[in-house]
Every structure is written in C-alpha cells, then in structure tokens.
Amino acid sequence: MRTDRLAVLRAWLGARWSRWSLRTPSDVARRQARLWRAMAPVIARTPAVSALAGRPLAEFPVMRPEALRDGFDAWNTLGLTRAGAEAAALAGETGGSGEVRPGVVAGFSSGSSGRPGLFVTSPAERAGWVGHILARLLAAEALLRPTRIALCLRADNRLYGDVASAGPFRFLFVGLNVAAPERFERLRAFAPDILIAPTQVLADLARRTDGPWPLRRLFYGAEPMGEAERGWIAAALGVRPDPIYQATEGFLGAACRLGTLHLNEDVLIIEREPVAGTNRFLPIVTDLRRTTQPMIRVRLPDLLEPLPAPCPCGSPLTAVHPIEGRLEDLWRWPGAVICPRQVETAVSAALGPEPDWRVVATRGGVTVEADPDRVEAARSAVATLLAEHGVDVPITARGRPVQDGIKRRRVRWSDG
C-alpha cells in the first residue's frame, strides 16, 4: 500500500485553511455542527448507535474507552471483529502489513494503562491524519524540502509509515525496548530535524548529550513533563520541547508556535466533564472524521486544565496546559484534592529538573522514591505541600533508584 499523497495534500490544505478561516469560537462551533450533520450516514452504519443517526450529539451515550474496546464489533462500520483486528494489529507490530481488510489497517496504541487501545483506519482516514498532523506540527516549507523525522514509541504501526511516504521525508522509528545508550547513538547519528518521543526518552537524551542537537522542532507526548524539566531539556538539546496530544481516540491536540497546547476542535468536538474540587476537566471526545471506527462521546481519563486567558497566538481553539496526568492520579483526602502538577512543581523545585523521582499516595500515607542523596529533599517538599492543604498523613522516604514501567508516571494515587 502506498500513501495517497494527493489525499494527504488535501488534508494538509484543509488544516492550514481552517487555521486562517476559524477566527472565533463561533466559527469553530459552526464548523463542528456542519461536520456532525455529515456524520449521520456513518452513524447509520455503526451497529451500536445506528438507531440514533441524525439525532443531536447530546442524545448519544458517553462511553469509556474500555467499553468501546470491549464492544469493538458493534463500534465499526465494516463488520470487523475484535479478534480479527487484534490479530492484524499484532501482525503489524511483528513485520506484517497490519491489514484486517484490503487497505484497512489495525494497530495498537501505546497503552498508557492496562491493555493497549485498538484502532482501525482506512486509507482515507490515514491520509487525513497524516495531512492534519503535518499541518499542525511542521512549517509549510517542510513539505518542500528534505526533512528527517525520528519517532520513539512503544511499537511501530502503519500510521507512522504513512508519514514517511507522504513527502520528502526520511523516517526513523526507534522502539522503547531499545537500550538507552543504543537509542541515543542511533538518534544522534540520524540527526533528525523533527523528533517526537516520550518525556523519559527526551530526559535521557538530555543527560547524555554534550551539546545542542540540529533540531527544528521537538515534541513530547505519552507522559507528563513539568515546566522545570521542559526548560532543562530545551537548554540541553537546544530546542523547546512542545506537547502533542495523541491517543487511540485520535489526534487530539498540538502546540502552536508559542508552545501552547491547543485542542484540535476543527475536527473534534470536545465536551468538558468537570473534576470536582479542581479547575480541571475530563475531555469527552467526538471525532468528526472517523468513518471506520467512529469515536463518539468517548470520555477520556486525562486531566485537562484550560488556560485562564486566550493564547496570545490568536487561535480560537481551546488552549490548555500540557497534560499532567490522569484522573486516577489525583490525590484525594477528606477536604483536600491535590493535582499532579502541584506535586510535580513542588518536588522539581526542591530537586531541580534533572533527577528522577516518584511519589505514590494512598489514603493512609505517601511514599517518596528518589536517589538516596535527594530523597530527604523530596520528602520535605511533599510534607510542605500536604501541610498547605491540611493533610496529615505519614510520609515514607525510600532512597533507591526509581524503576518504572513502559510509561513514566511520577505522581500516582493507589487505592491499595
């Protein structure tokens, strides 16, 4: 299968045009309403919601990602089965095409918690995704000159290969299973113009490097990044790392030229479910372009905090702080709620941006993990934060290297 470059170009032009034509939130709302009306035939072909075709969005059920995955057979328009799609996705990660039907490719998300998400895409959807992401992440001239793009994630899939063949690009994928020293050497030798990687990878590169990289843009996703860490990585690699918000449910947000994360409301409807005790919300996502596996009112567990004022870039798309964690990462005690960003800010102020650490809270106490020579400073920072919120629970300090899973989560809540 070859990427349809004309379809990619059309999607790229559409995304660039929307950047200039959508001037106000009312412009965005009118576009969303038009695209939602156009979704009626797709909904009619989706067994789970076919009876609601043509109805207002508010009449559709709000879905959890797990329920959508478990009900996969009823949430696609091609009569695909979950078993068949999962087999194709697994084959795609081990050298196969990933096709579950001619041209229709299955893949897994990076799997931030529990089982990875399953997605399927048609050639038109992949071309639209590629065109949209190129328009959001790269300058216009990137389509005209050779560009080296490097990506570090859990596993490769067909979407990323489509980026490589969409223009004058050289593409390097480095899996997270590659040892850190080898990963550094491969990326350094490739000398990417664009690098996209999780926070822990960029932090490791910053620790190993001896000078700035020849990067034009640098993006992070999949894991939170504090502001202190963002500044340190920028100084080490020579380019500010900007957030990208991508999930099984779609390409949800990207940074503007100022580095502010904006939600992609030109192709999505994102409703807000308030999180009690905070100014955060959970996004309820409806993708207005997915036709093979519709995503309608999918409630994600990501904590989003809107900026208190419009972004100076002038975009009418909602501006939010970079993703700080998930709903289950909130610290909650009677009368007190502490958000992951507050913990991140407090500990990073005490330790600096470079050291690694982890803090896990439960109803009965908090455990702080860091290198032995820094763990007491981290414990003291957490104690001060708890006292500011009127929380009196014991704090255990463990001076040992932090070991984490495939995704780094510094701030956690455990019900255990």
Structure tokens belonging to residue 186: 């491969």
Q: Is residue 213 part of a domain?
A: yes
Structural contact between residues 301 and 328, judged by C-beta atoms closer than 8 angstroms: yes
Look at residues 320, 339, 364 and tell me which one is the last residue of a structural domain. 320
Predicted structure pTM score: 0.90
User: pLDDT at position 94, please?
Assistant: 78
Task: Give the pLDDT score at 36.
Answer: 97
Asked whether residue 178 is assigned to any structural domain, the reply reads yes
Could you say which of 291, 320, 349 is where a domain stops?
320
Q: Could you tell me which of 129, 187, 114 has the C-alpha nearest to residue 406?
A: 114
Across the beta sheet with 217-221, what order do the strands follow? Answer: 169-175, 147-153, 194-198, 217-221, 241-247, 250-255, 261-263, 319-320
Within a domain: residue 112? Answer: yes
Q: Where are the beta strands (DSSP E) in 115-186?
A: 118-121, 147-153, 169-175
The range of the structural domain enclosing residue 134 comes to 5-320
C-alpha distance from residue 291 to each of 79, 295, 415 (Å)? 13, 9, 38
pLDDT value of residue 284: 97
Segments of 23-68 assigned E as strands? none
Last residue of a domain, one of 320, 351, 386: 320
Specify the CATH number for the domain of residue 338. 3.30.300
What gap in Å lies between CA 277 and CA 284, rounded to an integer?
19
pLDDT at 404: 60
Same domain for 28 and 163? yes
Angstrom distance (rounded) from CA 192 to CA 214: 7
Residues in a beta bridge with 283 = 272
Asked if residue 125 and residue 9 are part of one domain, the reply reads: yes
Digit-by-digit pLDDT tens for the chain (416 residues) are 456 678 778 888 888 888 788 899 999 999 999 999 999 999 999 999 999 999 999 999 999 988 888 899 999 999 999 999 989 988 887 777 788 899 898 888 765 445 667 889 888 888 888 888 888 887 766 666 788 889 887 765 555 665 655 566 788 889 888 899 999 999 999 999 999 999 999 999 999 999 899 999 999 988 999 999 999 999 999 999 999 998 877 889 999 999 999 999 999 999 999 999 999 999 999 999 999 999 999 999 999 999 999 899 999 999 999 999 999 999 999 999 999 999 999 999 999 999 989 999 999 999 999 999 999 999 999 999 999 999 999 999 998 767 666 678 899 998 86
Q: Are 323 and 344 in contact (CB under 8 A)?
A: no
Q: Are residues 286 and 382 in the same domain?
A: no
Q: Give the Cβ contact number of residue 376 at 10 Å.
A: 14
Q: How many domains does the chain have?
A: 2
Do both 87 and 184 map to the same domain?
yes
* In a shared domain, residues 253 and 384: no
| Residue 95 CB coordination number (10 Å) | 8
Q: What is the pLDDT of residue 112?
A: 46
Looking at the structure, do residues 205 and 137 belong to the same domain, yes or no?
yes
- Residue 27 located in a structural domain: yes
Is 325 part of a structural domain of the chain?
no
